[in-house]
Amino acid sequence: MKTKNTKAFGTDSATAPLKEMTIQRREVTPTDVEIEILYCGVCHSDLHTARNDWGGTVYPVVPGHEIVGRITKVGDKVTKLKVGDIGAVGCLVDSCGHCESCEHDLEQFCLNGYTGTYGSPDKHLGGYTHGGYSERIIVDERFVLKVPSNLDLAAVAPLLCAGITTWSPLRHWNVTKGSKVAVVGLGGLGHMAIKLANGLGAEVTLFSRTPNKKEDAIKLGASHVVISTDEEQMKSVKGKFDLIIDTVPYVHDVNPYVATLNYSGTLVLVGYLGDLDPMLNTVPMIMGRKSVAGSVIGGIAETQELLDFCGKHNIVSDIEIINMQDINTAYERMLKSDVKYRFVIDMASLKN
């Protein structure tokens, strides 16, 4: 298969900073779309993968799975997109297409293993896929999304991960007007959860450990802020919520939040991977038919639904635009939660 040199930013090891490098991209196949990347969001997953925090990273790795760009070439069998269109790519670039999950538009749960935008075996070129910290990407048209024309393109980028990660549970648990939704944590995921739940007509509450998040939470669409370290405030919302979206990315005690669920309510973890500590107390779950669940991104159809919803309601992420050359500093700032609320790379800076 023919390939072309492509300028990118990535790393050769868990301890090395990201740097400019050259990667190979395939030429378009009949069903492919080539996208000149204009903006790429910066996700915590990018940092974790680059530093091998979860194990299993294969180097060199080029992160980035919140991609918005302009289509510059299409294969001769492409039907839904054309040169000049704006296209978006999220966390997935392929799946088997025929398992039960894929047939139900749940490619993120592909029973034969989906192909991630970066760090997955590349069935076209061998090796592993490379992500959006690069000049261009080539993706099968089935995994390219359309972007509403009224939205700011840079601020759309985080919708492809942070947005769909919070949208999917809101939809799965049928959040609608009048639903009572709480969000744990105000960061890249949390701020999107508030905006989207509010857009769906829910009454939204933020759980925070510190009072200084209140002003921002209200601006984003929350009606209430509960300080989770305040026993009296936690008691005041006991049994209140239909759904809690927990965005905290590190180990923490979820038991106090379970107590605030209404009967048949669900707390869904979208930020933390690993064992709960302390252990989950099942008594309030059994006595109130409550659930603790998990969720990860969404399928292509659901992600398009999200983008269309955001276009209709003019919802985008709150972002800070950076140059590609500043990514290592941005990673360090992310570790300190020093961003409101998502970094987005202006990929024009890669050409400088």
How many folded domains does the chain comprise? Answer: 2
Do 187 and 52 fall within a single domain?
A: no
Question: What average pLDDT score do residues 247-259 get?
Answer: 94
- The percent of residues in the chain predicted with pLDDT above 70, rounded, is 100
- Return the pLDDT at 242: 98
**CB atoms inside a 10 Å sphere around CB 30:** 11
- Return the pLDDT at 1: 80
- Return the pLDDT at 342: 96
Residues 154/39, Cβ–Cβ less than 8 Å:
yes
Q: Is the pLDDT reported for residue 63 higher than 90?
A: yes
Domain that holds residue 251: 164-294
Question: What average pLDDT score do residues 6-24 get?
Answer: 97
Res. 52 pLDDT band, cuts 50 70 90: very high
Looking at the DSSP bridge assignments, the partners of residue 255 are: none
- The percent of residues in the chain predicted with pLDDT above 90, rounded, is 94
Two structure tokens written together for 263: 């009967």
Q: Indicate the residue among 276, 294, 312 that finishes a domain.
A: 294
Do 208 and 257 fall within a single domain?
A: yes
- Return the pLDDT at 205: 98
How high does pLDDT run on average in the chain?
Answer: 96
Do 276 and 322 fall within a single domain?
A: no
Do 263 and 157 fall within a single domain?
A: no
Alpha-carbon distance of 61 to 52, in angstroms, equals 10
Res. 351 pLDDT band, cuts 50 70 90: confident
Do 151 and 202 fall within a single domain?
A: no
Count, residues in the chain:
352
- Return the pLDDT at 228: 95
pTM for the model stands at 0.95
- Return the pLDDT at 274: 87
Do 111 and 210 fall within a single domain?
A: no
Pick from 255, 241, 238: which is nearest to 205 by CA?
Answer: 241
- Return the pLDDT at 325: 97
Do 131 and 58 fall within a single domain?
A: yes
Q: Is the pLDDT reported for residue 277 higher than 90?
A: no
Do 22 and 94 fall within a single domain?
A: yes
Question: What average pLDDT score do residues 223-248 get?
Answer: 96
CATH of the domain at 242: 3.40.50.720
Residues 118/129, Cβ–Cβ less than 8 Å:
yes
Question: What average pLDDT score do residues 195-222 get?
Answer: 96
Two structure tokens written together for 191: 């701020």
Do 134 and 213 fall within a single domain?
A: no
Looking at the DSSP bridge assignments, the partners of residue 309 are: none
Do 286 and 307 fall within a single domain?
A: no
CA dist 67 → 38, 53, 265 (Å): 8, 23, 34
CATH of the domain at 332: 3.90.180.10
Do 271 and 306 fall within a single domain?
A: no
- Return the pLDDT at 332: 96
Question: What average pLDDT score do residues 320-347 get?
Answer: 96
Do 157 and 197 fall within a single domain?
A: no
Instruction: Kindly report, residue by residue over 144-198, the tens digit of the pLDDT.
Output: 999 999 999 999 999 999 999 999 999 999 999 999 999 999 999 999 999 999 9
- Return the pLDDT at 217: 96
Q: Indicate the residue among 294, 314, 329 that finishes a domain.
A: 294
